[in-house]
Amino acid sequence: MAVAKLNVNLNGYILKNPILTASGTYGYNDEYECFTDVSNLGAIVTKAITLNPREGNNHIRLCETKSGIINSIGLENVGIERFIKEKLPVLKQKNIDFIVNIAGSTQAEYIELAKICAQSNIRAIELNVSCPNVKSGCLEFGVDEDSLYSLVTGVRKEYDGFLIVKLTPNVTSIEKLALAAEKSGADAISAINTIKGAAIQLNLINGKFKKTIVQGGYSGIGIKPAAISAVLRIVNTVKIPVIGIGGIETLQDVLEFFAAGAQAVQIGTANFTHPETAGKIIGELEMYIKQNNFKDLDELKEELRK
Protein backbone atom coordinates (compact mmCIF):
# COMPACT_ATOMS: atom_id res chain seq x y z
CA MET A 1 0.00 0.00 0.00
CA ALA A 2 1.37 3.42 -0.97
CA VAL A 3 2.47 5.88 1.70
CA ALA A 4 -0.13 8.59 2.27
CA LYS A 5 0.99 12.14 1.56
CA LEU A 6 1.11 14.01 4.86
CA ASN A 7 3.13 17.06 3.83
CA VAL A 8 1.79 20.51 4.71
CA ASN A 9 2.45 23.81 2.96
CA LEU A 10 2.31 26.58 5.55
CA ASN A 11 2.48 29.70 3.46
CA GLY A 12 5.55 28.41 1.63
CA TYR A 13 7.10 26.61 4.60
CA ILE A 14 6.90 22.87 3.93
CA LEU A 15 6.46 20.32 6.73
CA LYS A 16 6.76 16.59 6.10
CA ASN A 17 3.63 16.14 8.23
CA PRO A 18 1.34 18.31 10.38
CA ILE A 19 2.35 16.94 13.80
CA LEU A 20 4.64 19.27 15.75
CA THR A 21 5.62 19.32 19.41
CA ALA A 22 4.98 22.42 21.50
CA SER A 23 7.62 24.63 23.03
CA GLY A 24 8.59 23.76 26.57
CA THR A 25 7.48 20.15 26.30
CA TYR A 26 10.13 18.55 24.10
CA GLY A 27 13.46 20.04 25.10
CA TYR A 28 15.90 21.53 22.62
CA ASN A 29 16.69 18.76 20.15
CA ASP A 30 16.83 14.98 20.61
CA GLU A 31 15.81 14.47 24.24
CA TYR A 32 12.86 12.28 23.22
CA GLU A 33 14.67 10.01 20.77
CA CYS A 34 14.54 7.09 23.22
CA PHE A 35 10.73 7.15 22.84
CA THR A 36 10.26 7.94 19.14
CA ASP A 37 12.16 8.84 15.99
CA VAL A 38 12.27 12.61 16.42
CA SER A 39 13.35 13.10 12.81
CA ASN A 40 9.94 11.74 11.69
CA LEU A 41 8.06 14.63 13.32
CA GLY A 42 6.77 17.54 11.28
CA ALA A 43 8.97 19.67 13.52
CA ILE A 44 9.84 20.18 17.13
CA VAL A 45 9.37 23.65 18.55
CA THR A 46 12.28 24.23 20.89
CA LYS A 47 12.08 25.24 24.49
CA ALA A 48 11.82 29.04 24.63
CA ILE A 49 15.20 30.70 24.08
CA THR A 50 16.08 34.08 25.56
CA LEU A 51 19.00 36.38 24.84
CA ASN A 52 20.76 35.44 28.09
CA PRO A 53 20.50 32.23 30.14
CA ARG A 54 17.66 32.13 32.66
CA GLU A 55 17.40 30.05 35.82
CA GLY A 56 13.61 30.27 35.88
CA ASN A 57 11.33 30.65 38.86
CA ASN A 58 12.41 29.54 42.33
CA HIS A 59 9.02 28.36 43.56
CA ILE A 60 6.90 25.31 42.66
CA ARG A 61 7.16 24.96 38.89
CA LEU A 62 4.75 22.14 38.05
CA CYS A 63 1.47 21.12 39.63
CA GLU A 64 -0.69 18.28 38.34
CA THR A 65 -4.46 18.72 38.18
CA LYS A 66 -7.22 16.27 37.28
CA SER A 67 -7.22 17.36 33.64
CA GLY A 68 -3.82 18.88 32.97
CA ILE A 69 -0.97 20.70 34.62
CA ILE A 70 -0.16 24.17 35.88
CA ASN A 71 3.36 25.27 35.04
CA SER A 72 5.36 28.20 36.26
CA ILE A 73 8.79 27.37 34.87
CA GLY A 74 9.71 30.99 34.20
CA LEU A 75 11.43 30.38 30.85
CA GLU A 76 14.43 28.54 32.25
CA ASN A 77 16.82 28.04 29.33
CA VAL A 78 20.47 28.03 28.24
CA GLY A 79 20.33 31.28 26.28
CA ILE A 80 20.78 31.85 22.55
CA GLU A 81 24.61 31.69 22.52
CA ARG A 82 24.76 28.23 24.08
CA PHE A 83 21.80 27.07 21.99
CA ILE A 84 23.60 28.01 18.79
CA LYS A 85 26.83 26.41 19.99
CA GLU A 86 25.54 23.18 21.57
CA LYS A 87 21.94 22.44 20.57
CA LEU A 88 21.71 23.63 16.97
CA PRO A 89 24.47 21.30 15.68
CA VAL A 90 22.63 18.26 17.06
CA LEU A 91 19.41 19.27 15.30
CA LYS A 92 21.25 19.62 12.00
CA GLN A 93 23.37 16.51 12.42
CA LYS A 94 20.32 14.33 13.17
CA ASN A 95 18.20 15.92 10.43
CA ILE A 96 15.51 17.03 12.88
CA ASP A 97 13.11 19.66 11.54
CA PHE A 98 12.75 22.42 14.08
CA ILE A 99 11.31 25.84 14.87
CA VAL A 100 13.06 28.03 17.43
CA ASN A 101 10.78 29.61 20.01
CA ILE A 102 12.18 32.97 21.17
CA ALA A 103 11.16 35.17 24.10
CA GLY A 104 12.33 38.56 25.31
CA SER A 105 11.80 41.08 28.08
CA THR A 106 11.94 44.01 25.66
CA GLN A 107 11.34 44.60 21.98
CA ALA A 108 15.06 45.13 21.52
CA GLU A 109 15.74 41.65 22.92
CA TYR A 110 13.28 40.02 20.52
CA ILE A 111 14.84 41.87 17.60
CA GLU A 112 18.37 40.86 18.61
CA LEU A 113 17.27 37.22 18.96
CA ALA A 114 15.67 37.33 15.53
CA LYS A 115 18.85 38.83 14.07
CA ILE A 116 20.97 36.04 15.57
CA CYS A 117 18.55 33.42 14.22
CA ALA A 118 18.81 34.97 10.77
CA GLN A 119 22.61 34.97 10.93
CA SER A 120 22.52 31.31 11.99
CA ASN A 121 20.32 30.38 9.00
CA ILE A 122 17.45 29.23 11.20
CA ARG A 123 14.53 28.71 8.81
CA ALA A 124 11.64 29.26 11.22
CA ILE A 125 11.02 30.98 14.53
CA GLU A 126 8.01 31.23 16.82
CA LEU A 127 7.59 34.44 18.78
CA ASN A 128 6.55 33.66 22.33
CA VAL A 129 4.42 36.68 23.20
CA SER A 130 2.13 34.76 25.50
CA CYS A 131 4.01 33.22 28.43
CA PRO A 132 2.17 34.15 31.66
CA ASN A 133 4.98 33.06 34.00
CA VAL A 134 7.50 35.90 33.75
CA LYS A 135 7.44 39.39 35.24
CA SER A 136 8.31 41.34 32.08
CA GLY A 137 8.05 40.87 28.33
CA CYS A 138 6.12 38.09 26.55
CA LEU A 139 2.54 38.55 27.70
CA GLU A 140 2.96 42.35 27.78
CA PHE A 141 3.30 42.25 23.99
CA GLY A 142 0.72 39.51 23.49
CA VAL A 143 -2.26 41.28 25.04
CA ASP A 144 -2.03 44.63 23.25
CA GLU A 145 -2.50 44.78 19.49
CA ASP A 146 -0.42 47.94 19.01
CA SER A 147 2.50 46.54 21.00
CA LEU A 148 2.28 43.27 19.10
CA TYR A 149 2.19 45.06 15.74
CA SER A 150 5.28 47.08 16.67
CA LEU A 151 7.12 43.99 17.91
CA VAL A 152 6.42 41.81 14.88
CA THR A 153 7.25 44.68 12.51
CA GLY A 154 10.60 45.15 14.23
CA VAL A 155 11.39 41.43 14.15
CA ARG A 156 10.41 41.18 10.49
CA LYS A 157 12.97 43.83 9.56
CA GLU A 158 15.76 41.58 10.85
CA TYR A 159 14.38 38.15 10.00
CA ASP A 160 13.06 37.04 6.61
CA GLY A 161 12.52 33.37 7.45
CA PHE A 162 9.23 31.76 8.42
CA LEU A 163 7.72 33.73 11.30
CA ILE A 164 5.07 32.29 13.62
CA VAL A 165 3.40 34.32 16.37
CA LYS A 166 2.11 32.31 19.33
CA LEU A 167 -0.98 33.91 20.82
CA THR A 168 -2.38 33.87 24.32
CA PRO A 169 -6.03 33.09 25.12
CA ASN A 170 -5.85 35.46 28.11
CA VAL A 171 -7.32 38.39 26.18
CA THR A 172 -10.73 39.85 25.41
CA SER A 173 -10.34 39.46 21.63
CA ILE A 174 -7.80 37.01 20.26
CA GLU A 175 -9.07 37.98 16.79
CA LYS A 176 -7.64 41.50 17.13
CA LEU A 177 -4.25 40.11 18.12
CA ALA A 178 -4.33 37.69 15.18
CA LEU A 179 -5.06 40.56 12.78
CA ALA A 180 -2.22 42.62 14.25
CA ALA A 181 0.16 39.70 13.77
CA GLU A 182 -0.95 39.20 10.17
CA LYS A 183 -0.74 42.88 9.24
CA SER A 184 2.75 43.23 10.71
CA GLY A 185 4.19 40.38 8.67
CA ALA A 186 3.63 37.10 10.49
CA ASP A 187 3.55 34.04 8.21
CA ALA A 188 1.42 31.96 10.57
CA ILE A 189 -0.22 31.96 13.98
CA SER A 190 -0.01 29.28 16.65
CA ALA A 191 -2.76 29.16 19.25
CA ILE A 192 -3.29 28.78 22.05
CA ASN A 193 -0.69 29.13 24.73
CA THR A 194 -1.61 28.24 28.29
CA ILE A 195 -4.59 29.64 30.18
CA LYS A 196 -3.96 31.41 33.48
CA GLY A 197 -4.70 28.96 36.26
CA ALA A 198 -4.12 28.30 39.94
CA ALA A 199 -4.16 25.36 42.30
CA ILE A 200 -4.30 25.29 46.07
CA GLN A 201 -2.53 22.50 47.90
CA LEU A 202 -3.91 21.90 51.41
CA ASN A 203 -2.40 19.83 54.19
CA LEU A 204 -4.00 19.60 57.65
CA ILE A 205 -1.24 19.29 60.23
CA ASN A 206 -2.12 19.21 63.95
CA GLY A 207 -5.40 20.98 63.31
CA LYS A 208 -3.88 23.75 61.20
CA PHE A 209 -3.86 24.05 57.42
CA LYS A 210 -0.66 24.47 55.50
CA LYS A 211 -1.67 26.17 52.27
CA THR A 212 0.42 26.39 49.11
CA ILE A 213 -0.87 28.36 46.13
CA VAL A 214 0.53 27.52 42.71
CA GLN A 215 -0.19 29.97 39.90
CA GLY A 216 0.87 29.72 36.28
CA GLY A 217 -0.14 28.48 32.86
CA TYR A 218 -2.79 25.75 32.74
CA SER A 219 -2.48 23.23 29.90
CA GLY A 220 -3.71 19.76 29.00
CA ILE A 221 -6.93 18.15 27.86
CA GLY A 222 -9.02 20.54 29.96
CA ILE A 223 -8.22 23.52 27.70
CA LYS A 224 -9.12 21.85 24.40
CA PRO A 225 -12.59 23.45 24.05
CA ALA A 226 -11.08 26.91 24.59
CA ALA A 227 -8.33 26.14 22.08
CA ILE A 228 -10.73 24.95 19.39
CA SER A 229 -12.89 28.02 19.96
CA ALA A 230 -9.86 30.26 19.49
CA VAL A 231 -8.77 28.46 16.33
CA LEU A 232 -12.26 28.76 14.83
CA ARG A 233 -12.32 32.50 15.48
CA ILE A 234 -8.78 33.12 14.23
CA VAL A 235 -9.32 31.11 11.04
CA ASN A 236 -12.39 33.21 10.30
CA THR A 237 -10.40 36.41 10.85
CA VAL A 238 -7.06 36.01 9.07
CA LYS A 239 -5.80 34.46 5.84
CA ILE A 240 -2.47 33.14 7.11
CA PRO A 241 -2.24 29.53 8.38
CA VAL A 242 -3.13 28.62 11.95
CA ILE A 243 -1.35 25.95 13.99
CA GLY A 244 -3.66 24.56 16.67
CA ILE A 245 -2.46 23.87 20.22
CA GLY A 246 -4.30 22.81 23.35
CA GLY A 247 -5.18 19.47 24.91
CA ILE A 248 -4.26 17.27 21.96
CA GLU A 249 -3.73 13.66 23.01
CA THR A 250 -5.23 11.50 20.24
CA LEU A 251 -5.81 11.34 16.49
CA GLN A 252 -9.44 12.31 17.16
CA ASP A 253 -8.24 15.53 18.78
CA VAL A 254 -6.06 16.28 15.73
CA LEU A 255 -9.00 15.72 13.38
CA GLU A 256 -11.14 18.12 15.40
CA PHE A 257 -8.51 20.85 15.09
CA PHE A 258 -8.35 20.23 11.33
CA ALA A 259 -12.12 20.52 11.21
CA ALA A 260 -11.80 23.89 12.98
CA GLY A 261 -9.44 25.07 10.25
CA ALA A 262 -5.96 24.41 11.69
CA GLN A 263 -3.37 23.47 9.07
CA ALA A 264 -1.10 21.75 11.60
CA VAL A 265 -1.05 21.07 15.33
CA GLN A 266 1.36 21.13 18.23
CA ILE A 267 1.26 18.48 20.95
CA GLY A 268 2.29 19.69 24.40
CA THR A 269 1.28 18.32 27.78
CA ALA A 270 0.66 14.81 26.43
CA ASN A 271 4.41 14.54 25.83
CA PHE A 272 4.95 14.39 29.59
CA THR A 273 2.57 11.52 30.27
CA HIS A 274 2.98 9.56 27.02
CA PRO A 275 6.26 10.61 25.36
CA GLU A 276 5.55 8.55 22.26
CA THR A 277 2.30 10.40 21.50
CA ALA A 278 3.46 12.57 18.58
CA GLY A 279 5.13 9.74 16.70
CA LYS A 280 2.20 7.43 17.31
CA ILE A 281 -0.32 9.96 15.96
CA ILE A 282 1.68 10.40 12.74
CA GLY A 283 1.37 6.68 12.05
CA GLU A 284 -2.32 6.67 12.96
CA LEU A 285 -3.01 9.65 10.70
CA GLU A 286 -1.36 7.99 7.73
CA MET A 287 -3.33 4.79 8.32
CA TYR A 288 -6.60 6.72 8.73
CA ILE A 289 -6.11 8.43 5.36
CA LYS A 290 -5.39 5.15 3.58
CA GLN A 291 -8.14 3.12 5.23
CA ASN A 292 -10.76 5.76 4.44
CA ASN A 293 -9.65 6.18 0.82
CA PHE A 294 -8.58 9.80 0.99
CA LYS A 295 -6.02 10.75 -1.64
CA ASP A 296 -3.87 12.67 0.82
CA LEU A 297 -3.95 14.90 3.89
CA ASP A 298 -5.27 17.87 1.92
CA GLU A 299 -8.32 15.91 0.79
CA LEU A 300 -8.99 14.76 4.36
CA LYS A 301 -8.83 18.35 5.61
CA GLU A 302 -11.11 19.53 2.84
CA GLU A 303 -13.72 16.96 3.77
CA LEU A 304 -13.45 17.79 7.47
CA ARG A 305 -14.13 21.47 6.81
CA LYS A 306 -17.31 21.05 4.79
CA distance linking residue 153 with residue 266, whole number of Å = 25
Of the residues 34, 63, 117, 131, only one is catalytic, namely 131
Q: Which residues 6+ apart lie within 8 Å of 293 measured at CB?
A: none
Please answer whether residues 257 and 305 qualify as being in contact, where contact means their C-beta atoms are separated by less than 8 angstroms: no
What's the CA gap between 246 and 257, in Å, rounded?
A: 9
Q: Peptide bond before 267: cis, by omega within 30 degrees of 0?
A: no
Taking every pair of Cα atoms in the chain, the longest distance, rounded to a whole number of angstroms, is 67
Residue 131: active-site member: yes
Distance CA 36, CA 185 (A): 35
Q: Sign of torsion, CA 5 10 13 17?
A: negative
Positions marked catalytic:
131
